[in-house]
Structure 1
Amino acid sequence: MDWTEDARDGAIIAAPNGKIDESSAQDFGTKLEAAVERAAEAAAKLVVDCSGISYMSSRGLRALTLAKRKADGAGVKIMLAAPNGIVREILAISRYDKLFGVTDTVEGALAA
């Protein structure tokens, strides 16, 4: 899994790329929690650009849960943007689409 970050319009945009499964979930979680810390320091929201995620296992969902707890404690809003059909279905089945704001585009998440 690759990871890039950008700051734009009062948000940190994190863009993981690849599969988030047993082999990459710990790295994903570590990078996600570090992004939450940077967003808290900058008083920004965190937008996770999911367009590059081809699959997410339950370990990836756990990493999202831990990051959300940290974000809630720090007053950071996490938005999930542009998930593909598979990831969107995983989010819906697990009801994570009720825990996180999910938008079709990064721009939509920035505006939310």
Structure 2
Amino acid sequence: MKYSVDKKEQYVVFTPLEEKLDSALSPKLKSELLTVHAEGYRNLVIDMSQVKYVDSSGLSALLVGNREFSREGGIFVVASPQEHVTKLIKISMLDKVFNIVETIEEAAEAIFIHEIEKGGTEDEEEEN
């Protein structure tokens, strides 16, 4: 699976460089998302701008990422999904589960707002 990872201070932008996220690539996607999470990043933006097709296993991989990044107070943002991918997400009613935005800039804004709303209190509590 081809992809790029752009690590920022508050989050990571993970961009699959594939047209399809199907059963052939989903295990690798899950693995890579879990690896980024294990590296200590709490917030992830998955840039779906290159992806034209997602099947149920691809959506499942996204759900795993969403669960892992949300578990410890982080946020998982799906950015720039193409029309067909958006339709599948809506048909699956996952638009109620995922944070979906149109651009990477909107994703960065969503993460910034999420961090402000959390107020950083979790980090302080963990230190005590």
TM-score, scaled relative to structure 2: 0.78
**d(CA) in 1 for partners of 2:9, 2:89:** 26
Q: CA deviation at 1:14?
A: 0.3
What do the CA deviations read for 1:46-96 (whole angstroms, capped 9, x no partner)?
A: 000010112111001111122222222232200000001011111111111
> 8 Å contact 1:82–1:103 — kept in the other structure?
yes
Counterpart for residue 64 of structure 1:
62
Q: Aligned with 2:24: secondary structure?
A: coil
* RMSD of Structure 2 on Structure 1 (CA): 1.4
Change (3 A) 1:63 1:74: same
Q: Confirm whether residue 47 of structure 1 aligns to residue 45 of structure 2.
A: yes
- Matched positions, count: 109
Residue 25 of structure 2 aligns with an amino acid whose one-letter code is S
3-state SS of 2:52 partner: strand
Amino acid at match of 1:53: V
The amino acid of 2:36's aligned partner reads: A
* Aligned-residue offset at 1:6: 0.4
- Tell which has more relative contact order, 1 or 2 (C-alpha 8 A, sep 6+): 1
Point out where structure 2 has 5 or more consecutive residues left out of the alignment: 111-128
Matched residue, 1:11:
11
Percent same amino acid at aligned positions?
A: 28
**Residue number in structure 1 paired with 2:91:** 93
Name 1:37's counterpart in structure 2: 38
Higher strand share: 1
For residues 19-59 of structure 1, what are the alpha-carbon distances to aligned partners after superposition, in whole Å with 9 as ceiling and x for unaligned? 11111111111112212233xx24x4200001011211100
Contact kept in structure 2, 1:36 and 1:76, CA below 8 Å: no
5+ long unaligned stretches in structure 1: none
Deviation at 1:106, TM superposition (A): 0.6
Q: How far off its partner does 1:9 sit?
A: 5.3
The structure with the largest alpha-carbon Rg is 2
Distance in 1 (alpha carbons) for counterparts of 2:54 and 2:37? 19
Provide the TM-score with structure 1 as the length reference: 0.88
